[in-house]
Structure 1
Amino acid sequence: MNNSLKLFAVSLISIGLLAACNDEAKSPAAGTNTTAPSANVVTSSDGAYSISLNGDFKDKIADKAQIAALRLPGTPVDKVTMLQLAGDEKTGDMVYGISFEFPAGAKMPPIDDLIKQMDVQTKSMPSVKNAQASKVEGTDNQMMYSMENSVGGITAYETCRMAVTDKLLTVCVASQNTGDKARLNTMIESFQVK
């Protein structure tokens, strides 16, 4: 694979990692109701994928430029194809998805290579802890990754799923309530390519 394609793949992975490292963390208020409402299936604006959400998420795709500037710095806003928030724009739980078209004639590296690149990226980022990446069982074109990151001494959790189709699709669920990993993982496992 040529170096420009490797750089392209690593830069796409880095967008998600940068978002994780720039999110401010906040614990839920005492007495907050943590009972999750029933799941709601949401489809990306390009129709390429869907995910089932548990929580009081609201569609914020119309506000993606403002929210991406605040929570996903460096993300190409025109590539954001899903944006859901539960809570406020600065600290609420967030689900975001990104769809990238491949450059003409380009092919993405195999998922196993992307997992190796993810490992290298996360090890070089001091604020990222407990990063894990793995191939999605039963697929040859999908991976899942998760991490904890510390910003200002407070930890946040993010879990993502990436699929290589005719596009590179990535969807992530981020929460500053790090005790809620099971709910976030359940949501990300519901990811479906259309």
Structure 2
Amino acid sequence: MESPEKTDGRRARAVASRARILKAMVDLIEDGEIQPSAEAVALRAGVGVRTVFRLFNDVDGLRQGLQEVMDERLAPIYAEPVHGTLLERLDQLVARRRIVFEKLARPKAFADAHRAQSPSLTAAHQTFVRRQRELLLGHLQGVLPASAGFVEALDLTLSFDVWRRLREDQHLSADDAQNVVLRMVHAIVAEFGG
């Protein structure tokens, strides 16, 4: 029978290896590799390929871990409060979403590319969309006009999908994309009399 110290040591090494593997995965994706191989992840993490497969039974587990790492990295940005009038808060939120969406662009593209084959990635995407809306509503509490159309227009305009389209399909710089989103937000506020 193994001693508790030996079991605890093995568990601690597995947790540390898992964290290194996930960090390596995120780093490779952020460096531009859309689908890093297990070998590339293992090499970057400083572990064996077998360790990658032992700690992540399937690719879905690795993708879920990737989502967890991104959530941890972005949590401090999400937690920052916004202040001021409706327009002042929206300007702050547009700037904040630029930071978040730029950091998420490659990992999200990786996850979205596999969403059709993965119920957990589909659920993660739905959670991401719902969370963005909840954050928007929370940050604008007390200054929102009483119009469902206003919220729907803002939710769409401040979505990752709009950001990705501006950046990837329309080839705008981050500054230009932010300016377009700001103009749309200001037009929505003017339309609804906020």
Does the TM-score normalized on the shorter chain lie above 0.5? Answer: no
Give TM-score, length-normalised by structure 1.
0.31
Rg larger in structure: 2
Of Structure 1 and Structure 2, the greater helix share is in 2
Give TM-score, length-normalised by structure 2.
0.31
Of Structure 1 and Structure 2, the greater strand share is in 1
